[in-house]
């Protein structure tokens, strides 16, 4: 049964990928990319990787689709016709790379093999001892936020850098302060949407907080929570216009908060350095070693959530603000 479901999901993934390549309407491509994310999330659930599935569903299917649509509002909807010569060059290249990758997999241990390095190296320690060493039931969170917190720090920096990159490329300081663009004004008339959004936004924010602080006990954590939290702001901005959203949370505040998230994460590490331990060794935070792990994970997840949420808001605000400026010069 599981095999049939896996085969169905994987063939749907392949079909979606082919459709994404072939369709020229970028709006449909953005939607298909979201569907691709959702199918991958289902596939991850089949592999019992609920945390990864959660991330893929919220990032791949949720927020990246939204960001792509926001980008499409700036760039236009249809792909330009491709020159034939380029595709003739690309096909052998793709086939060669794909062939090499498949050739590479021949050396790998078969899927789920007990003697594979991934089962023998550190995984047994994580699975057997993390409950005592870290004191939280979700092994993924203990790996992500404690054993491998340095790697996670890198991920947060990557997200932060992406936010800075978007700001550096697209930020306009000469933004007209108080004039809503026409599309948002017409959205304003949608009574049903506005009322349902008013009911949903608090629930979305609450769910974001739940995912943030429940990540130690179930699937979830800073990355997913940040994305969910940001999506509430997206919803508000789309229905009430960018100016209303900027009144709720100012762009400058968002930028400061994004840096603050990285700062919280980094400071947690520096505190352990100053106390004579390794970077991000949480044991200095409290007298009780397990409680210290708890505290450390809480701090860095807070940093992760803050940075992810604010960077998403920064990207969305910058793209939408850009769109607003272009719309007015037309």
Partner 1 sequence: MNAIFDIISWALLVSGGFLCISGAVGLLRFPDFFTRMHAASVTDSLATTLILTGLFIQADAWIVQVKLVMVLLFVLLTSPTAGHALAKAALHAGQKPALGKQPKTTMEAGR
Count interface residues toward partner 1 (CB under 8 A).
Answer: 8
- Alpha-carbon span 242 to 207, nearest angstrom: 24
Asked if 4 touches partner 1 (CB under 8 A), the answer is no
For the bound state, the minimum distance from the C-beta of residue 78 to partner 1, rounded and expressed in Å, comes to: 16
For the bound state, the minimum distance from the C-beta of residue 58 to partner 1, rounded and expressed in Å, comes to: 15
For the bound state, the minimum distance from the C-beta of residue 75 to partner 1, rounded and expressed in Å, comes to: 19
For the bound state, the minimum distance from the C-beta of residue 108 to partner 1, rounded and expressed in Å, comes to: 37
For the bound state, the minimum distance from the C-beta of residue 93 to partner 1, rounded and expressed in Å, comes to: 36
Tally of helices (H runs) and strands (E runs) in the chain: 15, 0
Nearer to partner 1, 186 or 278 (CB): 186
Nearer to partner 1, 123 or 197 (CB): 197
Alpha-carbon distances, residue 86 vs 34, 82, 155 (angstroms): 27, 8, 34
Nearer to partner 1, 203 or 270 (CB): 203
- Alpha-carbon span 275 to 13, nearest angstrom: 49
> Footprint of partner 1 on residues 224-283 (CB under 8 A)?
none
Name which position in 118, 203, 248, 253 contacts partner 1 (CB under 8 A): 203
> Footprint of partner 1 on residues 6-65 (CB under 8 A)?
none
For the bound state, the minimum distance from the C-beta of residue 177 to partner 1, rounded and expressed in Å, comes to: 28
- Alpha-carbon span 254 to 232, nearest angstrom: 15
Rounded to a whole number, what is the distance in angstroms from the first to the last CA of the chain? 56
- 175 Cβ contact partners less than 8 Å away, ≥ 6 residues apart: 321, 324, 325
For the bound state, the minimum distance from the C-beta of residue 192 to partner 1, rounded and expressed in Å, comes to: 5
> Footprint of partner 1 on residues 142-201 (CB under 8 A)?
186, 190, 192-193, 196, 199-200
Nearer to partner 1, 150 or 217 (CB): 217
Alpha-carbon distances, residue 38 vs 43, 46, 70, 219 (angstroms): 9, 13, 19, 17
Nearer to partner 1, 24 or 194 (CB): 194
Nearer to partner 1, 200 or 248 (CB): 200
HSE toward the beta carbon, residue 312, CA cutoff 13 A:
28
Nearer to partner 1, 235 or 298 (CB): 235
Tokens 């939290």 belong to 229
Specify which residues 78 forms β-bridges with.
25
For the bound state, the minimum distance from the C-beta of residue 193 to partner 1, rounded and expressed in Å, comes to: 6
- 236 Cβ contact partners less than 8 Å away, ≥ 6 residues apart: 197, 201, 244, 245, 248
Nearer to partner 1, 10 or 193 (CB): 193
Phi, psi (rounded to 5 degrees) for 25: -75, 110
The pair of structure tokens assigned to 286 is: 């409290």
3-state secondary structure of 122: coil
Query: Which residues of this chain interact with partner 1, rule CB under 8 A?
Result: 186, 190, 192-193, 196, 199-200, 203
């Amino acid at each position: 049964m599981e095999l049939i479901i896996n085969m169905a999901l994987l063939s749907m993934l392949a079909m979606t990928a082919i459709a994404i390549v072939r369709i020229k309407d970028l709006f449909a491509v953005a939607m298909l990319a979201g569907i691709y994310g959702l199918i991958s999330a289902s596939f991850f659930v089949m592999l019992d990787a609920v945390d990864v599935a959660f991330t893929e569903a919220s990032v791949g299917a949720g927020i990246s689709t939204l960001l792509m649509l926001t980008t499409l509002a700036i760039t236009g909807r249809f792909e330009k016709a491709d020159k034939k010569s380029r595709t003739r060059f690309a096909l052998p290249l793709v086939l060669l790379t794909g062939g090499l990758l498949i050739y590479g997999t021949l050396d790998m241990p078969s899927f789920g093999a007990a003697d594979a390095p991934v089962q023998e190296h550190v995984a047994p320690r994580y699975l057997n001892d993390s409950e005592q060493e870290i004191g939280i039931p979700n092994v993924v969170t203990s790996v992500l936020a404690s054993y491998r917190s340095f790697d996670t720090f890198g991920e947060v920096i990557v997200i932060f850098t992406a936010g800075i990159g978007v700001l550096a490329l697209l930020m306009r300081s000469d933004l007209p302060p108080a004039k809503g663009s026409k599309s948002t004004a017409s959205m304003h008339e949608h009574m049903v949407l506005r009322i349902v959004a008013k009911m949903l936004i608090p629930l979305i924010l609450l769910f974001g907080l739940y995912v943030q602080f429940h990540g130690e006990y179930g699937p979830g954590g800073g990355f997913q929570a940040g994305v969910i939290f940001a999506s509430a702001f997206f919803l508000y901005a789309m229905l009430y216009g960018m100016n209303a959203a900027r009144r709720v949370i100012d762009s400058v505040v968002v930028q400061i908060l994004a840096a603050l998230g990285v700062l919280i994460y980094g400071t947690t590490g520096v505190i352990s350095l100053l106390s004579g331990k390794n970077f991000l060794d949480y044991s200095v935070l409290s007298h009780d070693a397990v409680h210290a792990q708890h505290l450390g994970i809480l701090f860095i997840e807070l940093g992760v959530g803050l940075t992810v949420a604010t960077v998403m808001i920064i990207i969305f605000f910058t793209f939408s603000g850009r769109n607003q400026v272009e719309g007015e010069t037309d």
